[in-house]
Amino acid sequence: MKRELAGGPCSVARAADVLGDAWALLILRDCMHGVKRFDEFQRSLQVARNTLSDRLGKLVDAGVLTKEFYQDNPPRYEYLLTEMGRDLFPVLSAILAWGDKWLDGALGAPVTLHHETCGHDLEPEVVCRHCKQPVTDHDVQFCVGPGYPGVVTSGTDFRHRLAPAPGADGGRPHAHLRAS
């Protein structure tokens, strides 16, 4: 029985809980390539039909996909990304970029992304919405956010690793790591 990841106050864990497992992410990858139908997912992923059916059902329940009727006899459904699902694109493109950089087996990227707006092949970058500069782990401070609960069950509490407010002491593990 898989233990639920989403118990602690962490949006990464909650996202991971919705995504479920690696198959779910590969289904979403295929959706972003325009795959919609069960048989097409099955051909692409070479996964057991019951596993595929289970993962598609979970993604529909989570609100990431919608299941739409497209044919009467026999009844057939297709699976489409919702807005919540399309908003996973940054997650997938970040995973893609990491795989391209570290795991391409020296063959180069299997798939490149072409940005139709500017006409470049692109690498996704994470930037700050305010100043448009790249954001790395070394130039952020981890702070308690508005959704951090007052009481957290034992082990999952990590308030001591966070700054109580922006600019206050704490929340800089990278500084600590450099010093030690």
Partner 1 sequence: VERKSFAGMHCSVAQCLEAVGEWWSMLIVRDAFLGVTRFDEFQQRLGISRNILNQRLAHLAAHGVLQKTLYSEHPPRYEYRLTAKGRDLWPVLTAMRQWGDAYAAPDGPPLHLVHKSCGQIADAIMTCSGCGERLTTRDVRAVPGPGDLDDLVPAARTTR
Please, which of residues 37-96 interact with partner 1 by CB under 8 A? 47, 63, 81, 84, 86-96
Stretch that binds partner 1, among 53-61, 68-76, 172-180 (CB under 8 A): 172-180
Per CB under 8 A, contacts with partner 1 among 2-31 are 3, 5-19, 21-23, 25-26, 29
Per CB under 8 A, contacts with partner 1 among 91-120 are 91-105, 107-120
Which of 71, 177, 178, 179 forms a contact with partner 1 (CB under 8 A)? 177
Name residues whose C-beta falls within 8 Å of residue 63's C-beta, 6 or more positions apart in sequence: 82, 84, 85
51 C-beta neighbours (distance < 10 Å), count: 13
> CA 36 → CA 43, 73, 166, 174, distances in Å?
12, 18, 44, 43
What is the total count of residues that contact partner 1 (CB under 8 A)? 105
Q: Is 148 helix (H, G, I), strand (E, B) or coil?
A: coil
Shortest distance (Å) from residue 74 CB to partner 1: 23
Closest Cα partner for 64 from 9, 17, 107, 123?
17
Tokens matching residue 16: 């991971």
Query: Which lies closer to partner 1 via its Cβ, residue 36 or residue 77?
Result: 36
Shortest distance (Å) from residue 73 CB to partner 1: 25
